[in-house]
């Protein structure tokens, strides 16, 4: 008796998943616990383990996105049972063709082929065989109308489109002579980031302010920690100092650590700092971003913050993290400092529902006047993006001033 395998719900926030790659072929005999597929959710990619032993029949093609609980494969006890599953799948796809042939037989007048409709950005639902046929014939599936269940493009649609000419061939040359290098599926993490950033801009009153902080003394103070790296067990990063500066600013301006929930502004007592971590994409042209969260850091020292931050980054990049590691932020730190070109400035988009995002950039050496003399100093461009629904200009500026004072007077970080 065959056993159905559905898209698993691997996290509380997971509602759907996309098959990025089947690591087994149709009909392979797999052992329980073997890795059979890679799937992508809104936040991260997972490896799927076989929950049973048997001959595996693939139901869901690569690239398809379905809700949790949707059938994606089946385990057969024997090769005979596998053959029955494959036959049933083949008949399911071919069944409507007989009805179509009947309709064509009773039709007495020719019907013009429908004009192809391009479905830009939409998810193309097609059977594996249809995709293979279209690829072999260099045909563009996005110009085909599917007649299978739920509008699925099946074999007969590809053959009909090729025969009638009601389809366009794939071409590396786009409009105005543009030559395409790659097409990246707009799904999973990339789509989630786009949706959340768009929602952030549409649903909040965002404003960004800029300044420069002289971090010459801060870098000197950091060197004292670096010199004790072996003893401390970590090479304390500038990010640890920035997080301490955020804590310092929130203690003086608590409204910076808040969010809007319905008709209430919620000010948080604990400080949970979210920070961006870049992740490798599915190709050389793709990338993704996760925002892990350091929880309850309001009373931690620089060394402990640094240790916890690096441990969290390692878990995220290795895929060994939990849903809690990505939720619960009360304020956000952008981490482009050191990556962007010197002097870079930007207007980072808020990370909902946080009211404030601190955006440091790459430090740059500049001449400055100190005690009447021109001397070289290291200045860090800074920005704060805040939700003007929650913070007015006065508290926002006071928060910036507190962070600025802390960065320019690193002894305040030791308190």
pLDDT at 144 over 90: no
**What is the distance between the alpha carbons of residues 173 and 248, in angstroms, rounded to a whole number?**
55
Give the CA angle between residues 347, 350, 352 to the nearest 5°. 170
Q: Is the pLDDT of residue 147 over 60?
A: yes
Three-state DSSP at 97 gives helix
57 catalytic per annotation: no
The more confident residue out of 273 and 64 is: 273
Same domain, 394 and 360: yes
Q: Would you give the DSSP letter of residue 286?
A: -
The answer on 166 and 201 residing in a single domain is no
For 45-55, write each residue's pLDDT tens digit: 678 889 889 99
Distance CA 251, CA 262 (A): 25
Q: Provide the residue range defining the domain that includes 257.
A: 188-414
Q: How confident is the model at residue 307 (pLDDT cuts 50, 70, 90)?
A: very high
Q: Which residue has the higher pLDDT, 173 or 37?
A: 37
Query: How high is the pLDDT of residue 232?
Result: 96
* Residues 368 and 300 occupy one common structural domain: yes
Mean pLDDT value across residues 323-336: 91
- Answer with the one of 125, 152, 180 that is the final residue of a domain: 180
392 is catalytic: yes
pTM (two decimals): 0.66
Q: Is the pLDDT of residue 156 over 60?
A: yes
Q: What is the CATH number of the domain that holds 17?
A: 2.40.50.100
Confidence of residue 247 (pLDDT cuts 50, 70, 90): very high
Catalytic residue among 388, 394, 404, 405: 388
77, 137: one domain: no
The pLDDT value recorded for residue 284 is 59
For residue 136, pLDDT beyond 70: yes
Is the domain of 137 the same as that of 26? no
Whether residues 271 and 402 share a domain: the answer is: yes
pLDDT one-digit tens code per residue, 214-239: 999 999 999 999 999 999 999 999 99
The answer to whether the CB of 324 falls within 8 A of the CB of 189 is no
More confident residue, 204 or 38: 204
Residue 231: its H or E element: helix 229-232
- The closest of 376, 375, 350 to 363, measured between CA atoms, is 376
**Which of 160, 180, 200 marks a domain boundary?**
180
Residue 95 lies in a domain: no
* Between 166 and 39, the higher pLDDT residue: 39
> Considering the domain boundaries, does residue 33 fall inside one?
yes
Domain end call among 145, 161, 180: 180
- Kindly state whether residues 159 and 206 are assigned to the same domain: no
Q: Assign residue 147 the CATH number of its domain.
A: 4.10.320.10
- pLDDT for the residue numbered 102: 43
- Same domain? 160 vs 197: no
Report the CATH number at residue 272: 3.30.559.10
Is residue 270 situated within a structural domain?
Answer: yes
Which of 152-156, 258-262, 284-288 has the weakest average pLDDT? Answer: 284-288
Number of Cβ atoms within 10 Å of the Cβ of 366? 13
**pLDDT at position 169, please?**
58
Find the catalytic residue in 57, 67, 392, 404.
392
Residue 130 included in any domain: yes
**162 and 72 assigned to the same domain:** no
- If you average pLDDT over residues 193-206, what whole number do you get? 90
- Whether residue 377 is contained in a domain is answered as yes
The verdict on 297 and 213 lying in the same domain is yes
Q: Please write the tens of the pLDDT for every residue from 68-115.
A: 899 999 999 998 899 888 888 877 665 554 444 444 444 333 333 343
Residue 108 domain-assigned (yes or no): no
Report the number of distinct structural domains present in the chain.
Answer: 3
Q: Are residue 40 and residue 57 in the same domain, yes or no?
A: yes
Packed helices 155-164 and 79-106: angle between N→C axes, nearest 10 degrees: 40
Q: What is the pLDDT of residue 116?
A: 40
Banded pLDDT at 150 (limits 50, 70, 90): low
**Predicted pLDDT of residue 198:** 92
């Amino acid at each position: 008796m065959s056993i159905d395998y559905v898209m698993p719900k691997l996290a509380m926030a997971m509602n759907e998943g996309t098959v990025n790659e089947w690591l087994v072929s149709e009909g392979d005999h797999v052992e329980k616990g073997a890795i059979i597929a890679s799937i992508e959710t809104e936040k991260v990619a997972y490896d799927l383990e076989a929950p049973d032993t048997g001959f595996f029949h693939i139901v869901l093609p690569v690239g398809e996105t379905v809700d949790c609980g949707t059938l994606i494969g089946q385990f057969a006890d024997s090769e005979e049972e596998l053959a029955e599953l494959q036959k049933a799948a083949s008949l399911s796809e071919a069944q409507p063709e007989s009805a179509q042939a009947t309709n064509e037989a009773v039709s007495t007048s020719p019907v013009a082929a429908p004009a192809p409709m391009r479905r830009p950005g939409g998810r193309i639902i097609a059977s594996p065989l249809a995709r293979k046929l279209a690829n072999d014939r260099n045909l563009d599936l996005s110009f085909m109308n599917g007649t299978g269940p739920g509008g699925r493009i099946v074999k007969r649609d590809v053959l009909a489109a090729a025969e009638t000419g009601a389809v366009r061939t794939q071409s590396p040359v786009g409009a105005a002579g543009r030559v395409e290098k790659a097409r990246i599926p707009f799904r999973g993490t990339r789509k989630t980031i786009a949706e959340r950033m768009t929602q952030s801009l549409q649903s909040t009153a965002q404003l960004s302010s800029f300044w420069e902080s002289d971090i010459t003394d801060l870098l000197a103070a950091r060197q004292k920690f670096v010199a004790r790296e072996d003893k401390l067990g970590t090479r304390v990063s500038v990010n640890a100092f920035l997080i301490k500066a955020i804590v310092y600013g929130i203690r003086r301006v608590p409204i910076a650590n808040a969010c809007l929930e319905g008709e209430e502004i919620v000010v948080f007592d604990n400080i949970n700092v979210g920070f961006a971590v870049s992740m490798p994409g599915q190709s050389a042209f793709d990338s993704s971003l996760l925002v892990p969260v350091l929880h309850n850091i309001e009373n931690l020292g620089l060394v402990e913050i640094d240790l916890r931050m690096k441990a969290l980054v390692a878990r995220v990049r290795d895929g060994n993290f939990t849903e809690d590691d990505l939720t619960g932020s009360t304020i956000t730190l952008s981490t482009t400092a050191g990556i962007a070109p010197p002097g870079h400035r930007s207007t980072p988009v808020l990370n909902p529902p946080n009211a404030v995002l601190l955006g440091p950039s790459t430090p740059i050496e500049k001449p400055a006047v100190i005690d009447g003399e021109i001397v070289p100093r290291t200045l860090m461009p800074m920005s704060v993006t805040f939700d003007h629904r929650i913070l007015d200009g006065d508290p926002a500026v006071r928060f910036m001033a507190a962070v600025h004072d802390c960065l320019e007077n690193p002894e305040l970080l030791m308190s």
